Amino acid sequence: MTVLDIAEVVRRSGVPASTLRFYEEKGLIAPVGRQGLRRQFAESVLERLALIALGRASGLALDEIGGMFTPDGALAIDRQLLLAKADDLDRTIRQLGALRDGLRHAAQCRAPSHLECPTFRRILHAAAQGALGETVPPLRRRRINRTGTGR
């Protein structure tokens, strides 16, 4: 078995040491030993970190990801959970698509005021009813300077 020092795991995975320690606390990864104060990991930790990254990118919570590993470390993917997450992503994609279309319409609308535009009023009403966003993740806002370009 190839053993990697924590610094090598950081270098090869791109995951910061603090995150590795956090994942260890959560039971997602485990060192195979120590050399002095430095944790040592089996090379297989790199694949596990890739699986964790994939789960996080898919919107899974760390507890959900942890539940996909058996006590002996084998992978036991919950297919129903994946299907439910895929359904959540479909809903989010539809909501984000509607928001994108609404933003484009608002940017190009020829009505004298956005509040006079029936399409914009429908979007505004949907937002007031909460239809646009409980599952939509908050978007990072860009600051706009006076010329209208991002900063």
- The tokens for 21 are 């320690």
Task: Report the percentage of the chain scoring pLDDT > 90.
Answer: 55
Shared-domain flag, residues 18 and 54: yes
Shared-domain flag, residues 11 and 59: yes
Shared-domain flag, residues 114 and 60: no
Answer whether 9's CB lies under 8 Å from 46's CB. Answer: yes
Q: What is the pLDDT of residue 140?
A: 47
SS3 104: helix
Shared-domain flag, residues 97 and 61: no
Shared-domain flag, residues 96 and 49: no
Q: What values do phi and psi take at 17, rounded to 5?
A: -60, -40
Output the average pLDDT for the chain: 86
**Residue 12 domain boundaries:** 3-66
Tell me the pTM.
Answer: 0.71
Q: What is the pLDDT of residue 68?
A: 92
Distance CA 124, CA 120 (A): 6
Answer whether 19's CB lies under 8 Å from 13's CB. Answer: no
Shared-domain flag, residues 92 and 62: no
Instruction: Confirm whether 106 is domain-assigned.
Output: yes
Instruction: Confirm whether 124 is domain-assigned.
Output: yes
